[in-house]
Amino acid sequence: MARVPFVGLTGGLGAGKSTALAALGRLGAATLSTDAVVHELYGSQEVREAVVARWGPEVAPDGVIHRPTVARRAFAAPDESTWLEELLWPRVGARVAAWYEALGEKDPPPLAAVVETPLLFEAGMEGVYDATLAVVADEEVRAQRAAARGHQVVDERAARQLTQDEKAARATYAVRNSGTVDELEEQLSGVLAALRETNRTP
């Protein structure tokens, strides 16, 4: 059985990574969001106790981690964000590896295994994947999406992120998500076809 292509999905703030991930799922890929894995980890006793020991009980009122408070503490100083990354990322990596391994049992296998990884290049994780996919969008479209969610588009360099153009330049594939979902799906279908061709055994 051919190995399922392992793909890291990333993109700029407001580019529509989650929309692309959902579209890939509809097109026959298996999908996973590292943000969803982190959310799950925050519900575990082990991670909750470690975070409370580091920053105090106010980060977990009523025994439930409050992610915005954790984020404020983590970004208060580089040492704090490094500590949180060292707590979470090995656990995230283990979950992702177990998920990918389980896909090998599926018959028929998915067209690809796609993991949404927002800081893929910044964290030096591109080597984990067979291919990488960047989602980009026009700046005004990104601003509109962020405003619709009650957010402002954060300056990527200030947030320790590469610009979306830098992500696209480093990625194996890049798709533009400034139009309709159907247009996005058409591009993603082409990416899956290219992955299938690359993965085909002689």
Q: Where are the domains of the chain?
A: 1-29+110-197, 36-109
Question: Dihedral of the CA atoms 40, 158, 51, 56 (nearest 10)?
Answer: -140
Across the beta sheet with 131-136, the strand order is: 30-33, 113-116, 6-11, 131-136, 173-176
Residues 171-182, mean pLDDT to the nearest whole number? 94
Residues 88-92, mean pLDDT to the nearest whole number? 92
Q: What is the pTM of this model?
A: 0.88
State how far the Cα of 124 lies from the Cα of 116, in Å rounded to an integer: 14
State how far the Cα of 67 lies from the Cα of 76, in Å rounded to an integer: 14
Give me the pLDDT at residue 118, please: 86
Give me the pLDDT at residue 158, please: 44
Superfamily holding 1-29+110-197: P-loop containing nucleotide triphosphate hydrolases (3.40.50.300)
Asked whether residue 184 carries a pLDDT value surpassing 80, the answer given is: yes
Asked whether residue 194 carries a pLDDT value surpassing 50, the answer given is: yes
Give the residue from 77, 168, 170, 162 showing the smallest Cα distance to 122: 162
